[in-house]
Amino acid sequence: MFYGTHSLSLYKKLKKMKLVFATNNQHKLDEVRQITAPYGIEIVSLADIHCQEEIPETAETLEGNAWQKAHFLQEKYGMDCFADDTGLEVEVLHNAPGVYSARYAGSGHDSEANMKKLLQNLAGEKNRKARFRTVIALTIGGKEYTFEGIVSGKITTEKRGEGGFGYDPIFMPDGYDKTFAELGNDVKNQISHRAQAVGKLGAFLASIS
C-alpha cells in the first residue's frame, strides 16, 4: 500500500509499539514511560501481562541478570520486552557490591544495612571512587540489543540527605558537592545511570519506530 508523506506519518503515529518492561516498580515505569511517550511506544508492566511469578535473577553480572530476565519473558510470553539491572561498583572493592547491591548486607533488601556495611568497609580508605551502572537488555523482532548507563562519583564518609532510595545518601556524583539524596529527583533523573541507559533505549526505539 502506498502512503503519501502525511498519511505515512499518521500511520506511524497510529501504530503503537508494545513492549513489556520486566518490572512492577512504579518509579521505573514512570521514568521509562516519560522518555518513550513521544515515540508512541506503549510500555506495559509485568502486572499488565499478568505475570505474577518470580523472575529468576541469579547471574553473576548485571548483563547476565538483565538478559536472564528478558529471555525468561520472551520465551514464556513471546513478546518483545526489555529488562534492567543496576549495581553500585566501588573501585577499591573490585567493583563490589555490583550485582549484589540490593542484598549486600543480607537478603533483606535493607538499604540502611547496605550503606552501613559499605561505609564500614571503606573506613579510613582514601580512594572512594564509585559508579552506578545500569544495563538494559532489549529483545525485539527477534534481535537483541544492550544499553548501558554509567554515572561516576564517590562514596561519602557519612549519610547525607533524605531523598532518593538505596545508596543515594552516600553517593556523590562527579561535578556536584551533594549526594543523590540531597540533589533530589529532578537533578538525579537528568544525570543518573538509569536515565542514561533509558535515554539510549528511547533513542534506539525512536529510530526504529
Query: Active-site residues: which are they?
Result: 85
Residue listed under C-alpha cell 518509579: 27
For position 139 contacting ligand IMP by CB under 6 A, the verdict is: no
Which of 175, 177, 163, 167 shows the shortest CA–CA distance to 133?
A: 167
For position 135 contacting ligand IMP by CB under 6 A, the verdict is: no
Which of 30, 41, 33 shows the shortest CA–CA distance to 80?
A: 41
For position 102 contacting ligand IMP by CB under 6 A, the verdict is: yes
- Pick the piece of the chain touching ligand IMP (CB under 6 A) from 46-54, 84-92, 117-125, 153-161: 84-92
- Pick the piece of the chain touching ligand IMP (CB under 6 A) from 7-15, 82-90, 141-149, 152-160: 82-90
CB of 2 to ligand IMP, least distance (A): 45
For position 45 contacting ligand IMP by CB under 6 A, the verdict is: no
Residue 12 or 33: which CB sits closer to ligand IMP? 33
For position 179 contacting ligand IMP by CB under 6 A, the verdict is: no
- The C-alpha angle 46, 136, 83, rounded to 5 degrees, equals 15
For position 182 contacting ligand IMP by CB under 6 A, the verdict is: no
For position 167 contacting ligand IMP by CB under 6 A, the verdict is: yes
Beta bridge partners of 135: 85, 148
DSSP string, 64-103: HHHHHHHHHHHHHH---EEEEEEEEEEGGGTTEEETTGGG
For position 86 contacting ligand IMP by CB under 6 A, the verdict is: yes
Residue 40 or 184: which CB sits closer to ligand IMP? 184
For position 101 contacting ligand IMP by CB under 6 A, the verdict is: yes
Residue 139 or 196: which CB sits closer to ligand IMP? 196
Burial of 180 (0-12, 13-18, 19+ CB in 10 A): buried
In angstroms, rounded to a whole number, what is the distance separating the alpha carbons of residues 102 and 100? 6
In angstroms, rounded to a whole number, what is the distance separating the alpha carbons of residues 22 and 70? 7
For position 85 contacting ligand IMP by CB under 6 A, the verdict is: yes
Evaluate whether 193 touches 86 at the Cβ level (below 8 Å): yes
**Nearest-CB residue to ligand IMP?**
166
Residue numbers at the binding site for ligand IMP (CB under 6 A): 85-88, 101-102, 109, 132, 164-168, 180, 192
